């Protein structure tokens, strides 16, 4: 009944948009799932949601990968789904502690960013070309990396986990370029992260609210100035960091000031933005699902990402889609804003 009423109201607004609204909303939604087999309930659910154009793609985590053969079956199933638009098949593979495909599940291990920074640029490219080829062979077309945070706080989780190349922004750019080039040469999309910078703060947004107001450094935007517009395969991941100097009310991922006024104006970036995981404590503990969806879309986020881990909600994409449709009806999300993100995502997918 709820779905019928939403469709009826949309028809009253515009018959054209009533037919397209679910598809447009779906292209803004990426989710994870629980399971490591093609026959897993969680995987069969996201596959059905792809077939129904309710999601733009799927993100895989380490516990989704049992072995090479089963993983390839899953990525092939996603690639060959009935989705109207090519699905994004995403993973988070930086190297070091952040590598979902590794020697434990039949793949290779790769160096941390800190270790890579000790290599020559050519050696770094060789390391990342090997990584990109491994992803491509496994069926991945979107790597949510590299991390371009600066190591400007020795107590930050970025430094402790060796996820930064350096405290020097030029060094970060030098090695991130090799990561990006290797991936783009293998036709894999990338996402520089975590805008506007996670290297100066000590907290962990996985767990809760993190305020970078007093520690954020202006040079943290430098990698984005240099790398955001490399080519059409580049995207930018927005963090959940709060910085009162940029937005006095909202964390970056939900902030119009951060995305539209800071990122897009400062870097002239016209490509796709993607949220960091919206299941993280920084968001889930402070905002309802409805608030998160409305704020993120109106802030200028183009893809909204939920890891949807344990406890997993199999109907999460449907709930998000209904929220978007209802908020369009109520005038809290404009059709123009929704359509702009939809078009950006489709343009990105032209690279696949």
3-state secondary structure of 88: strand
β-pair partners for 98? 95
Is-contact 18 281, C-beta < 8 A? Answer: no
pLDDT digit string (tens) for 227-283?
Answer: 999 999 999 999 999 999 999 999 999 999 999 999 999 999 999 999 999 999 999
Q: Is the dihedral of CA 281, 212, 224, 255 positive or negative?
A: positive
CA 147 to chain centroid, in Å, comes to: 12
Residue among 103, 162, 104, 108 at smallest CA distance from 131? 108
| Site of tokens 């032209």 | 350
Would you mind telling me the total number of residues written for the chain in this entry?
A: 352
CA distances from 142 to 84, 90, 135 (A): 18, 5, 9
pLDDT reported for residue 161: 92
**Residue 98 token pair:** 């952040």
Give the span between the Cα atoms of 153 and 160, in whole angstroms. Answer: 9
User: What is the C-alpha radius of gyration for the chain, rounded to an integer number of angstroms?
Assistant: 19
**Residue 341 token pair:** 């993100």
Give the span between the Cα atoms of 245 and 311, in whole angstroms. Answer: 35
pLDDT reported for residue 193: 97
pLDDT reported for residue 16: 46
pLDDT reported for residue 14: 56
Residue among 344, 347, 296 at smallest CA distance from 324? 296
Q: Cis link prior to 256 (omega < 30° from 0)?
A: no
Q: Is the dihedral of CA 259, 236, 343, 14 positive or negative?
A: negative
CA 267 to chain centroid, in Å, comes to: 19
Give the span between the Cα atoms of 350 and 53, in whole angstroms. Answer: 17
**Which regions of the chain are under pLDDT 70?**
1-19, 203-208
pTM of the model: 0.94
């Amino acid at each position: 009944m709820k779905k019928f009423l939403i469709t009826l109201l949309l028809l009253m607004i515009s018959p054209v948009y009533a037919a397209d609204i679910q598809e447009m909303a779906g292209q803004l939604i990426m989710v994870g799932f629980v399971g490591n087999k093609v026959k897993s309930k969680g995987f069969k659910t996201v596959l059905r949601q792809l077939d129904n154009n309710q999601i733009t793609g799927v993100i895989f985590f380490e516990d989704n990968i049992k072995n090479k053969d089963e993983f390839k079956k899953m990525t092939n199933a996603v690639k060959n789904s009935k989705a109207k638009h090519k699905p994004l098949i995403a993973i988070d593979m930086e190297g070091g502690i952040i590598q979902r495909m590794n020697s434990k599940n039949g793949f290779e291990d790769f160096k941390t960013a800190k270790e890579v920074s000790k290599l020559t640029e050519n050696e770094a490219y060789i390391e990342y070309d090997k990584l990109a080829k491994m992803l491509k062979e496994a069926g991945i077309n979107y790597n949510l990396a590299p991390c371009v945070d600066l190591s400007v706080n020795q107590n930050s989780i970025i430094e402790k986990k060796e996820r930064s190349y350096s405290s020097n922004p030029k060094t970060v750019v030098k090695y991130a370029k090799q990561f990006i080039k290797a991936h783009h040469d293998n036709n894999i999309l990338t996402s520089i992260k975590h805008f506007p910078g996670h290297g100066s703060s000590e907290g962990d947004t996985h767990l809760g609210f993190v305020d970078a107001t007093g520690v954020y450094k202006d040079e943290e935007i430098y990698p984005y100035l240099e790398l955001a517009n490399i080519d059409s395969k580049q995207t930018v991941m927005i963090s959940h960091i709060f910085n009162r100097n940029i937005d006095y009310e909202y964390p970056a991922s939900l902030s119009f000031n951060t995305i539209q006024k800071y990122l897009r104006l400062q870097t002239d970036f016209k490509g796709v933005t993607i949220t960091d995981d919206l299941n993280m404590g920084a968001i889930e503990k402070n905002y309802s699902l409805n608030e998160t969806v409305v704020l993120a879309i109106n802030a200028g986020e183009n893809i909204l990402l939920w890891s949807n881990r344990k406890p997993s909600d199999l109907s999460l994409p449907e709930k998000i889609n209904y929220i978007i449709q209802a908020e369009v009806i109520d005038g809290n999300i404009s059709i123009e804003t929704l359509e702009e993100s939809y078009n950006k995502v489709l343009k990105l997918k032209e690279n696949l």
